[in-house]
């Protein structure tokens, strides 16, 4: 029921209460004042209506909605970490070395698995190529997506 309909019903009930009280008080020969009786019934109706409206609200909900995870169930959590690393690198205000260091670890793993050498080996620079070697040994800097793609392709081809 809408609020307007509730107040109309309360007004109708107030009129009925007023008429009943007027009749009862007149029969008892108490000589009621109609204006004061109307104000009393109206005030009482308004106060009771406001209290009922305030207390009739929905009960609070105490359930907590869980946050959605970035990785779907059964997804690769390592892929999620790489995506977060790339998003962080691209949105960072200052150059950070996290992406450069992660690329270095990845290149070092591939060099050790496929060629038996580490990044500190002199032959590693020729295997990695000049662009990837410059990125891994130089100061931290923002890497463009195209350059990152070339470096990852180079690591995959090792």
In terms of residue numbers, what domain contains 16? 3-55
DSSP state, 129?
Answer: -
pLDDT tens column, 41-66? 999 999 999 998 888 777 777 787 77
Same domain, 51 and 81: no
- For the chain, the domain total comes to 2
- pTM (predicted TM-score): 0.50
Q: Output the pLDDT for position 25.
A: 94
Q: Output the pLDDT for position 55.
A: 85
Q: Output the pLDDT for position 69.
A: 60
Q: Output the pLDDT for position 148.
A: 86
Same domain, 49 and 104: no
If you write DSSP's letter for every residue of 58-99 in order, what string do you get?
Answer: PPPP---PPPPPSS-TTS-HHHHHHHHHHHHHHH-SS--SHH
Same domain, 104 and 42: no
Same domain, 93 and 140: yes
Regions of the chain short of the pLDDT cut 70:
68-75
């Amino acid at each position: 029921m809408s609020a307007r309909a509730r107040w109309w019903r309360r007004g109708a009930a107030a009129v009925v209460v007023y008429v009943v009280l007027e009749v009862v008080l007149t029969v008892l020969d108490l000589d009621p004042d109609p204006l004061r009786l109307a104000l009393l019934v109206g005030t009482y109706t308004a106060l009771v209506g406001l209290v009922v409206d305030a207390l009739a609200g929905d009960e609070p909900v105490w359930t907590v909605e869980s946050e959605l995870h970035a990785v779907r169930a059964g997804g690769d959590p390592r892929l999620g970490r790489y995506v977060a690393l790339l998003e962080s690198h691209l949105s960072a205000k200052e150059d950070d070395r996290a992406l450069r260091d992660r690329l270095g670890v990845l290149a070092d793993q591939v060099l050790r698995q496929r060629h038996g050498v580490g990044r500190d080996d002199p032959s590693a620079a020729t295997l990695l190529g000049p662009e990837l070697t410059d990125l891994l040994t130089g100061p931290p800097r923002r890497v463009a997506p195209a350059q990152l793609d070339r470096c990852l392709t180079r690591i995959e081809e090792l």
